[in-house]
Amino acid sequence: MTQPTLWPLALYTALVFIVVGAMLGLSYILGERHKDRATGEPYESGIVSTGSARVKLSVKYYLIAVFFVIFDLEAAFIFAWAVAFRQLGWAGYLEIVVFIGVLLAGLVYLWRSGALDWSKK
């Protein structure tokens, strides 16, 4: 059994570090240095911002975002199943029925527990 040579990997790693170091060093040497008062102020599309950027959002906002990601990912799985529908046969059909059943049970649980309710109590 022959040993694989690692010198191409070592050379590539060294070149990456050299290029990154050169880019950081050149930007530090050639970059502008000014400390004007307006430099640190936020400016967006010609509108001067007012108020704090630290807006407190309800936890329900993040819960809805997580639920969206979960159910969107499940839609990707269902799409992949639909592409291979003919090859999977009845076993694949039964599996997707169980899969969608679990999804619906999760959605009903979220709905009944009030996780999808945005109204103030």
CB-based contact 88:81 (threshold 8 Å) = yes
Q: What is the pTM of this model?
A: 0.48
User: Is there a domain that residue 91 lies in?
Assistant: yes
User: Is there a domain that residue 50 lies in?
Assistant: no
Q: Which residues of 96-118 are buried (b: 16+ CB within 10 A; e: fewer)?
A: beeeeeebeeeeeebeeeeeeee
Hey, what amino acid is at 103?
L
Beta bridge partners of 43: 48
Structure tokens at 81: 């199943």
Domain count across the chain: 1
Range of the domain at 103: 59-113
pLDDT at site 93: 92
User: Is there a domain that residue 119 lies in?
Assistant: no
Question: What is the band of 1 on the pLDDT scale with cuts at 50, 70, 90?
Answer: low
Instruction: Tell the residue number behind the tokens 């990997």, with chain if given.
Output: 9
DSSP state of 114: T
CATH of the domain at 104: 1.20.58.1610
What integer is the mean pLDDT of 15-30? 95
The pLDDT tens digits of the residues spanning 100-116 come to 999 899 889 988 988 77
User: Is there a domain that residue 94 lies in?
Assistant: yes
pLDDT at site 14: 97
